[in-house]
Amino acid sequence: MPKLDRYLFSELAQSTFAVLVVLLIVSMGAVLADVLRDITSGRVPAALLLAQIGLQFLNYLPIILPLALLLGLMLGVGRLYRDSEMPVITAAGVGPGRLLRPVMMLVVPVVTFIALCSLWLGPLAHRTSKQMISDANRNLLIAGLEPGRFTELPGGGVVYVGSMSGDGTQFQRIFIHRQNDERMDITTSNTGRLTVHPDGERFITLEKGFQVEGPRHDGLGYRLLRYASNDVRLPPGQGKFDPKDPEVMSTPALLADDRREANAQVHARLAPPLLALAFALLAVPLSRTSPRQARYGHLLMGFLGFVVATSLMLMARGWLEDGKLPPAAGMWWLVLPLLVLGIWMYVRDGHPRGLWGRR
Q: In sequence order, what DSSP letters do the residues of 206-255 get, joined into one string?
A: EEEEEEEEEESSS----EEEEEEEEEEEPPP-S----TT-TTTS-HHHHH
DSSP 8-state code for residue 5: H
3-state secondary structure at position 207: strand
Among 199, 233, 267, residue at a domain's last position: 233
Domain match, 125 and 149 both: no
Q: What is the mean pLDDT of residues 209-213?
A: 88
Report whether pLDDT(141) > 90.
no
Q: CA-CA distance, 94 to 83, in Å (whole number)?
A: 17
Domain match, 16 and 130 both: yes
- Note the pLDDT of residue 295: 64
For residue 354, what pLDDT band results from cuts at 50, 70 and 90? Answer: very low
173: alpha, beta or left, given left = phi > 0 and alpha = psi -120 to 50? left
Domain match, 111 and 149 both: no
Q: Are 44 and 35 in contact (CB under 8 A)?
A: yes
Q: What percent of the chain has pLDDT over 70?
A: 82
Among 163, 198, 233, residue at a domain's last position: 233
Q: CA-CA distance, 287 to 296, in Å (whole number)?
A: 9
The answer to the question of residue 52 being in a domain is yes
Domain match, 263 and 133 both: yes
3-state secondary structure at position 267: helix
**Containing domain of residue 31, as a range?**
3-137+259-348
- Note the pLDDT of residue 203: 78
The answer to the question of residue 280 being in a domain is yes
- Note the pLDDT of residue 108: 93
- Note the pLDDT of residue 235: 58
Domain match, 52 and 126 both: yes
The answer to the question of residue 110 being in a domain is yes
For the chain, the residue count is 359
Q: CA-CA distance, 67 to 307, in Å (whole number)?
A: 9
The answer to the question of residue 83 being in a domain is yes
- Note the pLDDT of residue 138: 58
- Note the pLDDT of residue 356: 40
- Note the pLDDT of residue 140: 42
Domain match, 17 and 45 both: yes
Count structural domains, the chain.
2
Report whether pLDDT(314) > 80.
yes
Domain match, 87 and 33 both: yes
* Selected residue with higher pLDDT from 175 and 83: 175
The answer to the question of residue 252 being in a domain is no
Domain match, 123 and 270 both: yes
Q: Are 73 and 287 in contact (CB under 8 A)?
A: yes
The answer to the question of residue 34 being in a domain is yes
* Selected residue with higher pLDDT from 262 and 146: 262
The answer to the question of residue 124 being in a domain is yes
Q: Output the average pLDDT for the chain.
A: 80
- Note the pLDDT of residue 145: 63
- Note the pLDDT of residue 18: 92
Among 165, 198, 233, residue at a domain's last position: 233
Report whether pLDDT(76) > 80.
yes
The answer to the question of residue 247 being in a domain is no
Q: What is the mean pLDDT of residues 282-298?
A: 74
Domain match, 40 and 119 both: yes
Report whether pLDDT(197) > 90.
no
Domain match, 163 and 127 both: no
Q: Tally the C-alpha atoms within 13 A of residue 275's C-alpha that lie toward its C-beta.
A: 29
Q: Are 120 and 249 in contact (CB under 8 A)?
A: no
Domain match, 162 and 304 both: no
- Note the pLDDT of residue 142: 43
- Note the pLDDT of residue 287: 81
CA distances to 162, 174, 175, 198 from 148, in Å: 5, 10, 11, 28
* Burial bucket for residue 316 (CB in 10 Å: 0-12, 13-18, 19+): buried
Domain match, 223 and 265 both: no
pTM of this structure: 0.71
